[in-house]
Amino acid sequence: MDKNMGMSIEAGILGHWDSADREVEKRTLRTRAMLVLSNREQLEGRTYFIASSGMGVVAPLNLPQGCKCEVHFRLPLMEHGSVPIRLHARVHHSILSAQQGGFLIGLDFTEAHADVLHAIKRYMTG
């Protein structure tokens, strides 16, 4: 992929959300999100946390492991208010959470524009 258009992220390189990777730095992120599935079905949810290589989203449906989707949400940044984020991800896991009122879906980022990755990094360090 063209460097100026974005970059691909290999989930295996950046890690997964299993118990062995609990050291991955995550930051709480509570905002509305839209998951757009490969069949173009839209699934409303809410973000739970974000990390440099993925995020957690709570949604009303159980998505299968490996399911690819686009994720749309707004990322709050002090200097810009909030910025729209759009990236591609793959479902790593989906667990029913009574506490969260839906399925807690762990997503690995697979493709994101360089500006998006920079915004996530700023959010993580801010």
What tokens does 73 get?
């949400």
The 10s digit of each residue's pLDDT in 67-126 is 999 999 999 998 778 999 999 999 999 999 999 999 999 999 999 999 999 999 999 998
pTM of the model: 0.81
3-state secondary structure (DSSP) of residue 77 = strand
Q: What is the spatial distance between Cα 17 and Cα 74, in angstroms, rounded to a whole number?
A: 22
Q: What is the spatial distance between Cα 28 and Cα 49, in angstroms, rounded to a whole number?
A: 4
CATH number of 27-125: 2.40.10.220
Could you state, in order of their start, the residue ranges of all structural domains in the chain? 27-125
The 10s digit of each residue's pLDDT in 1-58 is 333 333 333 333 233 344 444 567 899 999 999 999 999 999 999 999 999 999 999 9
Q: What is the spatial distance between Cα 48 and Cα 99, in angstroms, rounded to a whole number?
A: 12
Q: What is the spatial distance between Cα 58 and Cα 9, in angstroms, rounded to a whole number?
A: 22
Q: What is the spatial distance between Cα 57 and Cα 29, in angstroms, rounded to a whole number?
A: 9
